[in-house]
């Protein structure tokens, strides 16, 4: 009887977890701009698919919880920095927005800090990240530029856009709450190189302009979890019909879009809705 009762309890708990995960799962279009934070990643093709809205994105409940935990840790990090005299401004409540690539690429730094020990008068870009124990130890061993090149590129871009020469990267270990902190110097040439990548995505009408990463197979570890795996490798033909996937869409600067058929500017709702005259980009046919 005890064994049967235990089995029923396990089933009940599993059902509760499933319900929570289902409730916390979100489905929707990707962000309407190119995220500056992603330009240091390996796959520009995935960023192109995002920008062109080739598929809806699904974020499962567990992943959304990870995001929420990250926000909570961010508040903790700010409290700890301020406890030693570092003044943090432009945090989550009044974040800065950096814009580039004719308004089609945007980024939002975590904070700006002043009062860094031994360099109290200088303004620093502040970037906060959380990590599991394995990732944290890799960061401690290899440091930011090698361990997490995407995070490094993000900081370089934000420093460039914010006219800041220095940055402070703060990572907290979610397993034991230990810190890894390192200073980052600006790199103008690298920042400009990254922004040229953003512009290449904006003005491209063909995902084939951007080579696949890895070993050019859908089994490559970074491709395995990509939302566009099936489309990229030709296994899934279904793409979303919207203005971003239509060859009649025009870019009119300042992050705005228009229809070449009507010559009217398109707001986000109309871009999603599309129209009966939709024609897929040549690369999508």
> Is the pLDDT confidence value at 228 over 60?
yes
- CATH number of the domain located at residue range(s) 241-285 in this protein: 2.20.70
The yes/no answer on whether domain 36-197 falls in CATH 3.40.47.10 is no
Q: Which tens digit of pLDDT belongs to each residue from 63-118? A: 878 877 778 899 999 999 999 999 999 998 899 999 999 999 999 999 999 999 99
> Which residue spans of the chain are classified as CATH 2.20.70?
241-285
Under 8 Å between Cβ of 158 and 103: no
pLDDT of amino acid 285: 79
pLDDT of residue 272: 93
Q: Reply yes or no on whether the pLDDT at 13 is more than 80.
A: no
Domain with CATH 3.90.320.10 in the chain: 36-197
Higher pLDDT, 16 or 124: 124
């Amino acid at each position: 009887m005890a064994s049967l009762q235990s089995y029923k309890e396990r089933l009940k708990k599993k059902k509760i977890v499933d319900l929570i995960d289902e409730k916390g799962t979100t489905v929707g279009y990707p962000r309407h701009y190119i995220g500056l934070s992603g330009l240091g990643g390996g796959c520009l093709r995935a960023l192109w698919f995002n920008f062109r809205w080739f598929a809806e994105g699904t974020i499962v409940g567990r992943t959304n919880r990870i995001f929420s935990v990250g926000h909570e840790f961010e508040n903790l990090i700010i409290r700890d920095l301020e406890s030693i005299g570092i003044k943090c401004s432009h945090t989550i409540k009044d974040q800065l927005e950096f814009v580039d690539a004719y308004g089609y690429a945007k980024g939002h730094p975590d904070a700006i800090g002043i009062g860094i020990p031994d360099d109290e008068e200088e303004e620093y870009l502040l970037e906060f990240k959380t990590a599991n124990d394995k990732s944290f130890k890799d960061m401690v061993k290899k440091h930011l530029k090698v361990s997490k090149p995407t995070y490094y590129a993000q900081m370089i871009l934000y420093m460039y856009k914010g006219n800041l020469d220095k940055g402070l990267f703060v990572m907290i270990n979610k397993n034991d709450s230990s810190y890894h902190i390192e200073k980052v110097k600006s790199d103008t040439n690298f920042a400009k190189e990254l922004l040229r990548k953003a512009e290449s995505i904006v003005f491209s009408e063909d995902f084939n302009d951007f080579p696949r990463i890895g070993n050019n197979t859908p089994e490559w570890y970074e491709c395995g979890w990509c939302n566009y795996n099936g489309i990229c490798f030709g296994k899934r033909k279904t793409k979303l019909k919207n203005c971003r996937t239509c060859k009649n869409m025009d870019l009119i600067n300042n992050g705005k879009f228009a229809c070449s058929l009507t010559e009217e500017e398109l707001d986000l709702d109309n871009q999603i809705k599309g129209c009966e005259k939709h024609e897929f980009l040549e690369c999508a046919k």
